[in-house]
Amino acid sequence: MFTDLVNYIVWNPDPIIGSLGPITLRYYSLCWIIGLALGYVLMQKLYRQQKLSDEQFEPLFIYIFLAILLGARLGHCLFYEPDYFLSSGTHLLEMLLPARYGADGSWHITGYEGLASHGGVFGLFVGLWLYCRNFKVPGWVVLDNMGICSSITAFFIRLGNLMNSEIIGKVTDVPWAFIFARVDGYPRHPGQLYEAICYLLFFFIILIIYKKKGTQSIGSGLYFGLCLTLIFIARFIIEYTKEIQVAFESSLPMDMGQILSIPLIIIGVYSIATSGKRMKLKEVIRK
């Protein structure tokens, strides 16, 4: 089946860019930074188009960054490795610190190795709720703007997974298969790349719809709904090409990524289905 391994894409980049003293700079971290920075710039532009003040915008990034980071980290630890992280006080501390406790009895700065996108989304909801409550910005307005921006950030995060050779796909003989040399010598589906391409496509689709409908459509829930629905339907389907990440998933009817995608798809479909009512209410209020 795999006699022509030379025809596949051998993937073996060094995940580390370089070091500054005890701090190690990784491609994964860089992709997160680029994705969040682009989301920040685009979100700021949307706020200004919609006549929302800089004073309302400026705290948003801090709320989003901390909420996504904390949610993604806790999501990974609790959804995928609860047996490890809940087994001792030291491991519990590792959930929150960008470091690992080594066998030599000392701490090693590693960055956050393990971030779950579903956890990041749930963390985002909490962060946005706190932001809207404290700065009196309508929740659906913020959610719609996030719906326009989020896919570009998700695109870069999946590129980071690709650079880490993590979340690998199942063994396959498709001609575009990747051999993840740091994992094994088998050609596999590049599931991270599948997701990245989908997310980039969704970003442009949602942005085009926004440009066509204009700023008056913000606050309807349409863009938030489109973002959740498109991303997590794609995620649900692509999961069929991936290897399970942790052993206990093999006993489940579907893997953890698919299970966690279902409620987000439902929320997304609901937001789209009810967006027309919110638009009509906005028009009545304007009159």
- When pLDDT is averaged across residues 258-282 and rounded to a whole number, the result is 92
Find where tokens 């349409």 sit: 222
- CA-to-CA distance for 282 and 286, rounded, in angstroms? 6
Using pLDDT thresholds of 50, 70 and 90, give the confidence band for residue 269: very high
Pull the structure tokens for residue 284.
């009545």
- pLDDT greater than 70 at residue 38: yes
Distant-in-sequence, close-in-space partners of 245: CB < 8 Å, separation ≥ 6: 80, 167, 255, 256, 257
- pLDDT greater than 70 at residue 111: no
Average pLDDT, the chain: 87
What would the pLDDT profile of 40-52 be if each residue is shown by its tens digit?
999 999 999 999 8
- pLDDT greater than 80 at residue 112: no
What would the pLDDT profile of 206-215 be if each residue is shown by its tens digit?
999 999 999 9
Q: Confirm or deny that 158 is annotated as ligand binding.
A: yes
Looking at the whole model, is its pTM more than 0.85? no
At residue 34, the pLDDT reads 95
At residue 285, the pLDDT reads 64
What's 17's DSSP letter? E
Residue 238: exposed, middle, or buried by beta-carbon count in 10 A (0-12, 13-18, 19+)? buried
Domains of the chain by residue range? 24-51+138-286, 53-136
- pLDDT greater than 90 at residue 68: no
Q: Facing residues of 37 across strands?
A: none
